[in-house]
Amino acid sequence: MIRRSIEIIVTSFKMAIQELWKNKLRTTLSLFGIMIGIFCLIGVLVVVNSLEHNIQNEIKSLGTNTIYIDKWDYSGGPDYPWWRYVNRPSPKYEEIDHIKERTVSAKFVAFAINTQDDLEYGGNILSNVKMYGISEDFDDIQPVEVRYGRYMSDAEFDRGVNSIVIGNDVAEKLFGSVEVAVGKEVSARGRAALVIGVIKKQGKQMIGGWDFDQSIILPYRFARNVMNELLSSPVIMVQGQDNLSSKALKDDLTGTMRAIHKLSPTKDEDFALNDVNDFSDAISSAFVGLNIGGWAIAALSLIVGMFGVANIMFVSVRERTSQIGLKKAIGAKRRVILAEFLLESAFLCIIGGLIGLTLVFFLTQILTQALNFPVFISTQYMILAIVICFITGILAGFIPALQASKLDPVVAIRSN
């Protein structure tokens, strides 16, 4: 039984290749719909998946299982009621100690302020450099990978010394080379600062994030002498304990912040707890529509391609009527004839799908260079393409195969 099945599969594959080779132009044009359908479907899915993967990685870089405490709610939208938040108190550095003491679910708590201003070295001025003033736990929540030099020590955080770590692009633009940046003294808003490290290049980011390539990092106690804290978007970052949900952390923080701000039960909250996981869920929801659009476009092309393959199979049945008659005359069963033509149709569609996948591969190479982030075909999408082609081939070849299996052997042999 297994041997017979293998013979049917091999025979069907040979027939599909012969059909393609014998009528190259006709078959190619008929398979064009399958090829374009797979190209559209897998191309859209690949680009959307790669884009979502890149954005999700950027969101993860904001800190896993992390809540951002701010006066502003990050949900945004056209109906964003900014007037409800503008008069709220900004987070304060002193609050991080209270959060650590009162919130047992908090693993790390960090404070950060930021601004944009000029950075100067030897008469060379770099404009609009992002400056982050951070506390000790920042690196535990948002790891900073230093390529040259070192990161700031606990002693430097405690004393607020003028040591800074700078981004890769900042080092290149200011000094001409990242290798020579460590040990140089720069001027940040009129304050001298010593470069002790250069952050590893992050690459282009889709949603902004921390954008360390274009930034410098200062210890908070030094940064508050460089920038106006109240005007520098202060935020408190809280990362939860391992194996603790962000919802549980958020519930704990709500009670903690209400206690710190001395809010009575009847008063509304004057702070916002922004969950990084919410950003991730929102992005996933947004990409669902793009995937549906890709399926819709591909479905139209695949239907057109299905009719093309069906046409090939009808012609193939007509051309091989006498052969079918001979097979049936020497004992071939209807199901064998049916299986041979169905598999032949499926193999033809798979060939068209493989051509479509090849075009998608070239598309990924072009987009990777153009978009500055990896666009890739995952194994699951390759398998999906083959499965879709197989099913399309079975559907396209069913009626011709059924017609072939029902031929009367005597009539079929006399057809020539």
Taking alpha carbons only, the member of 355, 364, 293 closest to residue 38 is 355
**In the predicted model, is pLDDT for residue 306 greater than 70?**
yes
Task: Return the higher-pLDDT residue of 112 and 287.
Answer: 112
Quick one: pLDDT at residue 207?
A: 59
Residues 44 and 367: beta-carbon distance below 8 Å: no
Quick one: pLDDT at residue 155?
A: 92
Quick one: pLDDT at residue 4?
A: 64
Quick one: pLDDT at residue 307?
A: 83
Taking alpha carbons only, the member of 239, 247, 155, 166 closest to residue 200 is 166
**In the predicted model, is pLDDT for residue 362 greater than 70?**
yes
Structure token pair of residue 193: 């600062």
The answer, as to whether pTM is greater than 0.75, is no
Taking only the tens place, the pLDDT of each residue in 311-349 is 878 877 787 777 777 777 776 677 777 777 788 788 888
Taking only the tens place, the pLDDT of each residue in 156-180 is 999 989 999 999 999 999 988 888 9
Quick one: pLDDT at residue 151?
A: 94
Quick one: pLDDT at residue 237?
A: 93
Pick the most confident of 165-174, 261-270, 402-411. 165-174
Question: CA-to-CA distance for 34 and 119, rounded, in angstroms?
Answer: 56
Taking only the tens place, the pLDDT of each residue in 212-243 is 888 999 999 999 888 888 778 899 999 988 88
Q: To the nearest whole number, what is the mean pLDDT of the chain?
A: 83
Quick one: pLDDT at residue 109?
A: 94
- How large is the average pLDDT for residues 305-310? 82
The share of the chain scoring above pLDDT 90, in percent, equals 26
Q: According to the 3-state scheme, what is the secondary structure of 255-279?
A: HHHHHHCCCCCCCCCCCEEEEHHHH
- How large is the average pLDDT for residues 22-51? 80
Taking only the tens place, the pLDDT of each residue in 370-385 is 877 788 888 888 898 8
Task: Return the higher-pLDDT residue of 325 and 269.
Answer: 269
The share of the chain scoring above pLDDT 70, in percent, equals 88
> Which range, of 76-80, 147-151, 264-268, averages the lowest pLDDT?
76-80
**In the predicted model, is pLDDT for residue 206 greater than 70?**
no
**In the predicted model, is pLDDT for residue 416 greater than 60?**
no
Quick one: pLDDT at residue 260?
A: 92
pLDDT band at 57 (very low <50, low <70, confident <90, very high): confident
Taking only the tens place, the pLDDT of each residue in 93-121 is 999 999 999 988 899 999 999 999 989 99
Quick one: pLDDT at residue 16?
A: 63
